[in-house]
Amino acid sequence: MAADVTMRVWRGDADGGEFRDYQAAAEEGEVVLDVLHRVQATQAGDLALRWNCKAGRCGSCSAEINGHPRLMCMTRMNQLPPGQPVVVAPLGGFPTIRDLVTDVSFNYEKAMQVPSYAPRPKEPDGTYRMQQADIDRVQEFHRCIECFLCQNVCHVIRDHEENKRVFAGPRMFIRYAELEMHPLDTNDRRELLQSRMGLGMCNITKCCSEVCPEHIRITDNAIIPLKERVVDDRYDPLVWLGRKIRRRKRADRG
């Protein structure tokens, strides 16, 4: 059942590179990662790529396959056009380190800026009570495997490196949403989201939702509800007045 395919793989580093062709056999049922592993083992031992679980659960093997951001372990060879080279490139939204490995430290830096989870006190019997129906939507966000494909395609940062300073990106908006909608959480991150995490810069083109391998409805279920919450907070007249007064007091003290 083995078929010969051409794997057209980007090879290079931060200083530049080029696509190189490798002829390899593809066995029945194989995914792109399988074939690249065969290329590694037999033709290019130093081909740099990331992978771990090989079952779509860890989010390590993100790449751009025939131009589409995908997980290499979940992209079946038989889903790609037969007879044509399979083009595999590193994620374009992050700086290249080597071959298919990119520098994703941006995501970890943004994660460090998320104010922590702060639960309310337990019930008198020492437990937390939550109904399944109340946590279903937050569990959807917890499915995120941190493949960073959403961060990679988000046009706010993909083509605008300067925005990375002031924009957390879809992955982090899910993280904020899961905290804001957690039935037990007491922290309020709305002001931070709007003023420093760039929530307002998202103009809901839904590119992130389209590429999510976990099919998390990032835009509809996380970003838009967050935007609504921020609006409620900012334009609620009482909250607005309260904030003005607090600011004035702080200014007076300063």
Partner 1 sequence: MADQESHSFDVVVVGAGGAGLRAAIEASIQGARTAIVCKSLLGKAHTVMAEGGIAAALGNVYPEDNWQVHFRDTMRGGKLLCNWRMAQIHAQEAPERVLELEEWGALFDRTPDGRILQRDFGGHRFARLAHVGDRTGLEMIRMLQHRATQAEIAVFMECTITRLLTDDDNRIAGAFGYWRESGRFVTFEAPAVVLATGGIGKAYKITSNSWEYTGDGHALALWAGADLIDMEFVQFHPTGMVWPPSVRGILVTEGVRGDGGVLKNSLDQRFMFDYIPEMFRAETAETEEEADRWYTDKSVRRTPDLLPRDEVARAINTEIKEGRGTPHGGVYLDIASRRDTEYITRRLPGMYHQFRELADVDITKEPMEVGPTCHYMMGGVRVDAETQGSTVPGLFAAGEVAGGMHGANRLGGNSLSDLLVFGRRAGRYAAEYAAGLTARPTADTSQLGELARHALRPFDGAGTENPYTIQQDLQDCMQALVGIIRIEDELTKALEELAVLRERATRVRVEGHRQYNPGWHLALDLDPLLAVSECITRAAFERTESRGAHTREDYPDTDPELGKVNVVVGQRAGQLSLTREPRPAIPDDLAALLKEG
Contacting positions for partner 1 (CB under 8 A): 13, 27-31, 34, 40-42, 44-60, 74, 76, 97-99, 101, 104, 108, 111-112, 114, 116-117, 119, 127-132, 135, 138-139, 142-146, 179, 182, 185
Report which secondary-structure segment, H or E, holds 74.
Answer: none
CA distance 83 to 78: 11
CA distance 230 to 107: 23
- β-strand 96-98 against 62-65: which pairing, if any? unpaired
Q: Which is nearer to partner 1, 103 or 232 (CB)?
A: 103
Q: Which is nearer to partner 1, 5 or 138 (CB)?
A: 138
Q: Which is nearer to partner 1, 109 or 159 (CB)?
A: 109
Residue 174 CB neighbour total at 10 angstroms: 26
Q: Which residues of 200-234 are buried (b: 16+ CB within 10 A; e: fewer)?
A: eebeeeebbbebbbbebbbbebbbbebbebbeebe
Smallest gap from Cβ 191 to partner 1, in A, equals: 19
Smallest gap from Cβ 58 to partner 1, in A, equals: 5
Q: Which is nearer to partner 1, 81 or 121 (CB)?
A: 121
Smallest gap from Cβ 84 to partner 1, in A, equals: 21
Smallest gap from Cβ 135 to partner 1, in A, equals: 5
Smallest gap from Cβ 48 to partner 1, in A, equals: 4
Q: Which is nearer to partner 1, 31 or 65 (CB)?
A: 31
φ and ψ at 112, to 5 degrees?
Answer: -70, -20
Largest CA distance in the chain: 78
